[in-house]
Amino acid sequence: MNRNNLIHAAASATPDPERALNNLERLFKENPVFLEEHEREIVPIAGLFSHSQFLADYSIQNPSQLSRALKALSLPFDKGKILSEARDSHASFRDEDRAPVYKEHAMKLLREIK
């Protein structure tokens, strides 16, 4: 199946096919090799992009985070591990708690956890 057919088929299976299609096209325009690397996950990507414009924008800007999340889809959900990673990440900028960049770092951490 060619690229366009694959993208259209995945988008059409979502609740908001137009949003999914637009975001998939943006992702693959900005990161052409991503489709080759994640062709098997095109349906969950389309579903994500259909449901959340915020997560679509974040994923397009941070394809490595999307790739990481896709790899974790088959793993069991581990709340303890997520909290531990968040604490470790927070510890790396905790000394900045009074600096203007603290809020920026905290918001980035929350986006990555989401």
DSSP the chain: --HHHHHHHHHHTSSSHHHHHHHHHHHHHH-HHHHHHSGGGHHHHHHHHHH-HHHHHHHHH-HHHHHHHHHHTTSPP-HHHHHHHHHHHHHTTGGGTTSTHHHHHHHHHHHHH-
What pLDDT sits at residue 95? Answer: 60
What pLDDT sits at residue 72? Answer: 84
Q: Using 70 as the pLDDT threshold, list the residues of the chain that sit under it.
A: 1, 93-100, 114
Which residues form the domain of 84?
A: 79-113
How many domains does the chain fold into? 2
Do 8 and 60 reside in the same domain of the chain? yes
Do 54 and 11 reside in the same domain of the chain? yes
Q: Mind listing the pLDDT tens digit for each residue in 62-90?
A: 999 999 889 888 888 778 887 887 787 77
Do 12 and 39 reside in the same domain of the chain? yes
> Which pTM does this prediction carry?
0.74
